[in-house]
Amino acid sequence: MSGKSRAVLIGTSTYSDAGLPDIPQVGPGLTELSRVFTELGLVESATTVLDEPSIGALGRGLTQAMAGADDLLLVYYIGHGLVGRAHDLYLGMHDSEPGSPEFGSLSYNALRDRVLDSPATIKVVILDCCFSGRAFGTAMSAPVDELVIDGTYVLTSAPPNRVSLVLPDEPHTAFTGRLLRLLDGGIPGAGEYVTIDDVYRHLLVTMRGEGLPLPQKRSGSTADRLRIRNRATMDTADDLRDRVAAVVVRARDTTWASVVDDLADLHSRQIRLLHGEHPDVLRTFASLLFARAAAGDPAKSGELLRELILTQGAVVGFDHPDLLRTVFYTAICLGESDNGTEAIARLRTLAPMQRSYLGYEHEDTCRTQHALARYLARTGEYVEASALLEELGAIRERTLDPASPTLAVTRRDIDVVGRAVRGG
């Protein structure tokens, strides 16, 4: 966008009235919205106003945050929505009273007037408004028909006669969470840019498919043509998978500790594009934990890797190469945490599984055999370690380039352990 663009993200997560349940998902939602709006280049800056207790201070903060927006102004609210006696909408604040929202709540009409004062060419207002608690979540409501501002795009989380939910065990409200997932994942095949109306239509399909309340929208002028970068053309699952694989190769050629930041970034991107238990995400997380272990915390990484084994096994199966590699990472973390006995036990169990499923000459199988020999040598079991290394050396002589650094390390270890066996 050629001019200045601003986002103002408002939310209330805690309430003094027992009739308005706290919404802990509000803060994380605002944080993620700030990230995605700026990452996609939709706005140049985002101001977050969370749990502001004073309406006066909130008004002054909004005025300051909106200043300078001459291209796009985006205002987003997450919290309880309250309906006054005249059926007008109030946005919940900490001291809002459900029976008297006129006191202690932000009038939507006041917010609308403040937005109308902005010189921004395009104005977008998004309301994710909650009202009261329910057995399976927090009920949310927001009337739509009176919210329209001329020349703006207004999007709400539910129609006036329905509620939308904060679902159990989800990190965000149902509406905001699915909007974030859509923006982070993008719309495949839609080109480099999509419009805000494209986003609305896909969000509508998603929420209808999940049996959730349907979002509503109203637009004036050409605001519905607002362009948003399509994340699907920025990151793809295949591209991220290839990039992770390249980083792992680099880690093996250099040091694992040097790739922690790269793996953390790629892992975050995969989570946003896919989901937490996607095989690609789990594979990258295992590598990230191993890199963190190399950077100085093998014990903690080992604990997390043990937990990951159960999750990964349920997703891909306990004979999958990804799972077997995670077991290898776990064993190394144990060995580097002065728990060599358990490391040896895990590697002894892992080695025949890899030979069976991957073959004797697979590099993962060879790495396990090499690690097992090294830990055996550390404990003085030189004869067995030497036999494993001799066998490994023969395999790597056949399969690796003569100039391979891995082959050179294998030859060195054969020599060192062989001298120990001979007493020299």
Full DSSP string of 276-308: TT-HHHHHHHHHHHHHHHHTT-HHHHHHHHHHH
Each residue of 107-141: pLDDT tens digit? 888 888 888 888 888 889 898 975 422 212 233 33
What's residue 153's pLDDT? 85
Question: Residue 163 — very low, low, confident or very high, per pLDDT cuts 50/70/90?
Answer: low
Count Cβ neighbours within 10 Å for each residue of 6-28 and write b for 16 or more, e otherwise: bbbbbbbbbbeeeebbebebbbb
- Give pairs for 143-148: CB < 8 Å, separation 24+: 143/83, 143/87, 143/89, 144/216, 144/218, 145/218, 146/87, 146/88, 146/89, 147/89, 147/108, 147/112, 147/218, 148/218, 148/220
The second-level CATH assignment, the architecture, of 237-421 is Alpha Horseshoe (1.25)
Q: Topology of domain 5-233, per CATH?
A: Rossmann fold (3.40.50)
Each residue of 290-342: pLDDT tens digit? 999 999 989 999 999 999 999 999 999 999 999 999 999 999 999 999 898 99
The predicted model scores a pTM of 0.60
Q: Mean pLDDT check: name the lowest of 178-192, 215-229, 364-378.
A: 215-229
Is residue 139 within 8 A of residue 132, CB to CB? The reply is yes
What residue segments make up the domains of the chain, in order of their start? 5-233, 237-421
Q: What mean pLDDT, rounded, does the chain reach?
A: 87
Q: Which amino acid is at 385?
A: A
